[in-house]
Amino acid sequence: MKKLNTLYAWLLLLPALVLLVSFTHAPTILTVWDSFFFAGRAGQPARFAGTENYLLMLEDEVFWQVMANNAWYLIGTVPTSIAIALMMALWVNSKLSGRSLLRLAYFTPTILPMIAVANIWLFFYSPEIGLFNKILDAVGADPVNWLGDPDWALPSLMLITVWKEAGFFMIFYLAALQTINPELNQAATLEGSSRWNSFRRITFPLLLPTTLFVMVNAVLNAFKLVDHLFILTKGGPNNATNLLLYYIYENAFSFFDTHYAATLTVVMLIMLMLLAAIQFGWLERRIHYR
């Protein structure tokens, strides 16, 4: 009887297990496995490389540039979009007329497909007819080649990301704000607490679970960005906007070096896991969950 129950249990788990193993675990293990081999040539099987691929990676200048780009991208987009999202949510949550329209307006960037978004911004950024340069021109400033100048290309991309992510994160903050009993703020106000003090001592601590969730997602998104790069810069100029996932894509499908791509993927996986562990470990301890 007990054996039969165990069999049932496994049978019930089977569909989920098959999907999970074939699309998550097996590719992960295969990727790690692949990263220890060189590509086979002209019908010859792949050669064992040991840590050779990793050593090559450490000498790859583009890899280091991509990592630096990604770090700047992370630092530039994550705190900014979270801060803006929180401010917008606090504002939209207050009693003002036409707030449902405002909420929709903030959420629009999230509804739009990434490719469409990128095309809109391409128009804003284009050197001759672009909106931003028209404005610069109107105030008498020199035009900027937003996406063509290595100094400006990455900040320009970061702006798009902040614009897109802030609206999405705002929805989470808004939902969290609406679960907070308004009497808490009334009580604080009656006790003579200023608006800033109430925010710092009550609202913000109660929003920490949401902040953690949003932060983990923002960090993941910072590493997952590919589609903007396709349309806007293709990683250029001179790798100024090349980010890790796009570099992996280039190696795998443009240079057909799947083993080096696998090596980079392993590095990315380890980094993401470390970042998530740090965030959970650091914040979890100081969060109040209801």
User: Kindly report the CA angle at 169 between 217 and 81, in degrees rounded to 5?
Assistant: 85
Question: Shortest approach of other proteins to residue 126 CB, angstroms?
Answer: 49
Give which of 169, 133, 161 is closest to 241, Cα–Cα. 161
Question: Shortest approach of other proteins to residue 284 CB, angstroms?
Answer: 14
Question: Shortest approach of other proteins to residue 202 CB, angstroms?
Answer: 6
* Nearest CB to other proteins, comparing residues 77 and 203: 203
Contact (CB, 8 A) for 127 and 145: yes
Question: Shortest approach of other proteins to residue 199 CB, angstroms?
Answer: 12
* Nearest CB to other proteins, comparing residues 101 and 190: 190
Residue 288 in contact with other proteins, rule: CB under 8 A? yes
Residue 119 in tokens? 């095309």
Residue 238 in contact with other proteins, rule: CB under 8 A? no
**Contact flags string 164-203 toward other proteins, x per CB under 8 A:** -----------------x-xx-xxxxxxxxx--x---xx-
* Nearest CB to other proteins, comparing residues 48 and 289: 289
Sequence-distant (6+) residues with CB within 8 A of 61 are none
* Nearest CB to other proteins, comparing residues 59 and 183: 183
Contacts with other proteins by CB under 8 A: the residue count is 19
Question: Shortest approach of other proteins to residue 185 CB, angstroms?
Answer: 9
**Contact flags string 198-237 toward other proteins, x per CB under 8 A:** ---xx--xx-------------------------------
Residue 85 in contact with other proteins, rule: CB under 8 A? no
Question: Shortest approach of other proteins to residue 191 CB, angstroms?
Answer: 3
* Nearest CB to other proteins, comparing residues 114 and 202: 202
Question: Shortest approach of other proteins to residue 178 CB, angstroms?
Answer: 16
Question: Shortest approach of other proteins to residue 192 CB, angstroms?
Answer: 4
* Nearest CB to other proteins, comparing residues 111 and 184: 184
* Nearest CB to other proteins, comparing residues 57 and 177: 177
Quick one: three-class SS letters along the chain? Answer: CHHHHHHHHHHHHHHHHHHHHHHHHHHHHHHHHHCCEECCCCCCCCEECCCHHHHHHHHCHHHHHHHHHHHHHHHHHHHHHHHHHHHHHHHHHCCCCCHHHHHHHHHHHHHCCHHHHHHHHHHHHCCCCCHHHHHHHHCCCCCCCCCCCHHHHHHHHHHHHHHHHHHHHHHHHHHHHHHCCHHHHHHHHHCCCCHHHHHHHHHHHHHHHHHHHHHHHHHHHHHHCCHHHHHHCCCCCCCCCCCHHHHHHHHHHHCCCHHHHHHHHHHHHHHHHHHHHHHHHHHHCCCCCC
Residue 95 in contact with other proteins, rule: CB under 8 A? no
Residues lying near other proteins in the complex (CB under 8 A) are found at: 181, 183-184, 186-194, 197, 201-202, 205-206, 288, 290
